Amino acid sequence: MDCGVVLENGAVSEARDVRMVFEKLEDTSDISTYLVLVPQHAKSEVRLHRIVHCDIFNDIEHSVRSMQAVTIQFRGCEIKDVKFVDDNTFMVLLRRDDSSYLLSLPYSSYATEQTPSTLHHSSEPMFQPASAHSLPDGIPLPDDSRQIWDLDTPDCWAPFVKHAFPSSERFTPIKIDANGRKDRRVVCVLGDDLKHYKIYDLDYDSGKEGEGDTTVDTIMSG
């Protein structure tokens, strides 16, 4: 069965995630599959992809409706990990100088806040037929069809920061995982010693992300 598509050229780092979202597109049963990843050769960038396809997937040519991509550039930073939280937002763990930061960014048309990372359903024809992107000889979306969101300074991405990890904390995060359960969204942050982790409640008290959080700092035992 022909069911693979080429999203990027080159290797992809371990910072990646995938999520399927039912967006009720134009009274169809089509599904949006979102993928977020960090290229091995460009660890200051987050690549966000959206593939709209039939709920019954037979082949690329007849099942893929559209493909979109946006590149989010964090100049001077290294992206350590990315994870989807729910049908609205995904989180980015990045490091700049000696500090690390946990960011929350919107990605789907369900998101209340709209930014260049928000991918909307497009009824425009694809730049190339879907079969041009299929494995094994397909090609990724061309650069001129991708939207660029340039977050080149800390001031640009500061509004999206949910937590900062200064060097004075002596806790260097390297990986995150998220639970997007409604009204109880939490993110777990693992330290570079692979023993300590912190848990942050994204919906603490107000039920609205960013209004507050609770932190649990735990050491794992063998």
Quote the pLDDT of residue 124: 54
Q: Is the pLDDT of residue 116 over 60?
A: yes
pLDDT digits (tens, 9 = 90+) for 151-187: 999 999 999 999 999 989 889 999 999 987 877 889 9
Which carries the bigger pLDDT value, residue 118 or residue 78?
Answer: 78
Average pLDDT of the segment spanning 40-64: 90
What is the reported pTM?
0.85
Average pLDDT of the segment spanning 192-211: 74
Burial-class residue 166 by CB neighbours within 10 Å (0-12, 13-18, 19+).
Answer: exposed
Average pLDDT of the segment spanning 36-40: 97
